[in-house]
Each structure stands twice: as structure tokens, then as C-alpha cells.
Amino acid sequence: MPIHKKGKRITDAEVKEVLALLDRGKSKSAVARETGISQSKVYRLWSDKLARDADERAIQQREEEDRKRPCVQHVFIREIIKEDSPKTVATSRTEKIIEVKRCRLCGFEERRSRFHQIN
């Protein structure tokens, strides 16, 4: 494997290969030996990856905290669920309609059930 000279750029394919090997749990020095990329470049790619992962985790954590916090004004998405009850011999069939209104911001949920008679 040819060793990268100082100042030579790493291609996108090499970056993907290095990150894939690091994700599999290989050490940074082993990745450098295997790919022929200098240890300093492997360490830089690894630290960039750690920073991106930390940023993603922080964003996800903030989004989860925002979802747990109650809304000032709910924005509801309405969903209707229909359930048919079995028809008895002499009576007509009834249909149970459940209307679920769920806030898309915080997850607050309102349920309302109605029965509709079908002859």
C-alpha cells in the first residue's frame, strides 16, 4: 500500500474506507497501516467524525427535550379509526369510530369515541 506524501489530499473513497474501518472498531494505527494513509490524517478524520457524532447526539437530545415540554398552542393531526362490531341475529350492526387528535409538536393526545348505527 503506497504511503500518502505530506500535503497530498485524501480522496472521498479513502475517507469512506477509513471511517468504515474505524466504525468496525479497528484502532487508528491499524487503519493507518492498512490503508497507507498517515496516522495524523487518520486521527484528524477520526476526531472530525467524533465531533459530528457529538453534534448529532446534542441535536437529538434537544429535540427530545422540546417534545417533552408542553406546547403553548397545540397543532393537532386528526386520525380516525373505525371498528365494526359483529352483527347479531335480530339487531343491526354498530360501528365504533375513534377520533384521535395528536399534537405533532409535543405528542399530546385527545381521544373521542362515537358509535354509529348501520342498518
List where CATH 1.10.10.60 sits in the chain: 12-68
What is the 8-class DSSP label of residue 83? E
- What is the pLDDT, as a whole number, of residue 57? 94
Residue with cell 490503508: 35
Cell of 51: 465531533
Outline where DSSP puts E strands in 39-86: 76-84
Statement: the pTM of the whole predicted model exceeds 0.75 = no
CATH fold of 12-68 reads Arc Repressor Mutant, subunit A (1.10.10)
Q: What is the pLDDT of residues 26-74, one digit of tens each?
A: 888 898 888 888 888 888 888 998 899 999 999 999 888 877 777 778 8
Cell of 24: 468496525
Coil, helix or strand at residue 116: strand
Compute the Cα dihedral for 56, 59, 62, 66 and give only its sign: negative
- What is the pLDDT, as a whole number, of residue 3? 54
Torsion of CA 64, 23, 19, 44, to 10 degrees: 80
